[in-house]
C-alpha cells in the first residue's frame, strides 16, 4: 500500500477547485479588461485567442466549466468560432439549409443570405467581438441563434441522407441535438448576464 502522505506528493491533475478558480479568474479578467478598454487591437487579439494560444490551452482553462458560467460560455463561443475556421464550407451549406426553418434565429444571428464560407467566419468573429466590446447578452444570444440555424440545417441534412447512409444520418442528428443544447446553454448564460449572475 502507498502511504497516504506519499500519495499526496505525487503530481497529478490540477485540483478541481483550483481549476474552477483559474477558469473564472481568467475569463473574468479577459472580458472585463477588454470591456474597459477602447483598444480595437485588444479585442481583435482576444477574438483570435485560440489561433494564438491553441485550442488545447483554451480548453485547459475553460472546457470543464459549467454552461451557466462566464468561462463555460466563452468556451462554447470559442469552440463555435474554431469550427467555423476549420469547416466553413460545410457550415455555410448547413446554415443555408436551415435558415428557412429558423427564420427568427437567422435574423438574430445576423448572417447574410445566402451565406458563403467567409460570411460564416465573419459572424463567429462578430459574436466574439460583441462579447468584448458590445452587449455580452446580445453576443451570447447571437451565438445561440447561429447554433439553432445550424441545428436545423443538420437535421435537414440527416433527413436527406437517412435512406442511403443511416450512420451519417444518426451522426448528423446527434450533432443537431448538441447544437440545440449549446444554443440553450448560451441563452441561459445571456439571461444570467442580464441578471448579474454570470460569474
Q: What pLDDT shows up at residue 16?
A: 77
Quick check: is 199 in a domain? no
- pLDDT tens per residue, range 124-142: 999 999 999 999 999 999 9
- 84: domain range? 14-194
Considering all CA atoms of the chain, what is the largest pairwise distance in Å, rounded to the nearest integer? 65
Quick check: is 45 in a domain? yes
Quick check: is 148 in a domain? yes
Quick check: is 162 in a domain? yes
Percent of the chain at pLDDT > 70 equals 93
Cis before 114 (ω within 30): yes
pLDDT surpassing 70 at residue 12: no
- The C-alpha cell at 5 is 502522505
Contact between residue 72 and residue 139 where contact means Cβ atoms under 8 Å apart: no
- In angstroms, the CA 125 to CA 110 distance is 12
Quick check: is 140 in a domain? yes
Conformational region of residue 116, where left means phi above 0, alpha means psi within -120 to 50, and beta covers everything else: beta
- In angstroms, the CA 151 to CA 176 distance is 4
When pLDDT is averaged across residues 55-74 and rounded to a whole number, the result is 93
Tell me how many domains the chain contains.
1
Q: What pLDDT shows up at residue 114?
A: 85
Alpha carbon distances (Å) from 75 to 60, 71, 104, 161, 164: 10, 6, 25, 31, 35
- In angstroms, the CA 171 to CA 186 distance is 22
pLDDT category of residue 14 using cuts at 50, 70 and 90: low
**Model confidence, pTM:** 0.89
> Which residues, at least 6 apart from 87, have a Cβ–Cβ distance to it below 8 Å?
none
pLDDT surpassing 70 at residue 160: yes
Amino acid at each position: 500500500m502507498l502511504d497516504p502522505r506519499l500519495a499526496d506528493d505525487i503530481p497529478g491533475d490540477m485540483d478541481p477547485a483550483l481549476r474552477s478558480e483559474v477558469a473564472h479568474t481568467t475569463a473574468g479578467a479577459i472580458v472585463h479588461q477588454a470591456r474597459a478598454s477602447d483598444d480595437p487591437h485588444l479585442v481583435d487579439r482576444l477574438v483570435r485567442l485560440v489561433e494564438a494560444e491553441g485550442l488545447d490551452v483554451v480548453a485547459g482553462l475553460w472546457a470543464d466549466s459549467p454552461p451557466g458560467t462566464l468561462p463555460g460560455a466563452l468556451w462554447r463561443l470559442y469552440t463555435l468560432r474554431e469550427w467555423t475556421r476549420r469547416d466553413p464550407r460545410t457550415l455555410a451549406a448547413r446554415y443555408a439549409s436551415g435558415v428557412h426553418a429558423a427564420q427568427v434565429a437567422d435574423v438574430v444571428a445576423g448572417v447574410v443570405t445566402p451565406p458563403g464560407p467567409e460570411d460564416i467566419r465573419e459572424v463567429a468573429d462578430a459574436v466574439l467581438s460583441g462579447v468584448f466590446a458590445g452587449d455580452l447578452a446580445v453576443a451570447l444570444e447571437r451565438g445561440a441563434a447561429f447554433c439553432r440555424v445550424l441545428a436545423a440545417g443538420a437535421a435537414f441534412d440527416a433527413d436527406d441522407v437517412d435512406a442511403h447512409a443511416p450512420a451519417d444520418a444518426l451522426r448528423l442528428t446527434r450533432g443537431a441535438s448538441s447544437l440545440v443544447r449549446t444554443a440553450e446553454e448560451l441563452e441561459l448564460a445571456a439571461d444570467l448576464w442580464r441578471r448579474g449572475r454570470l460569474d
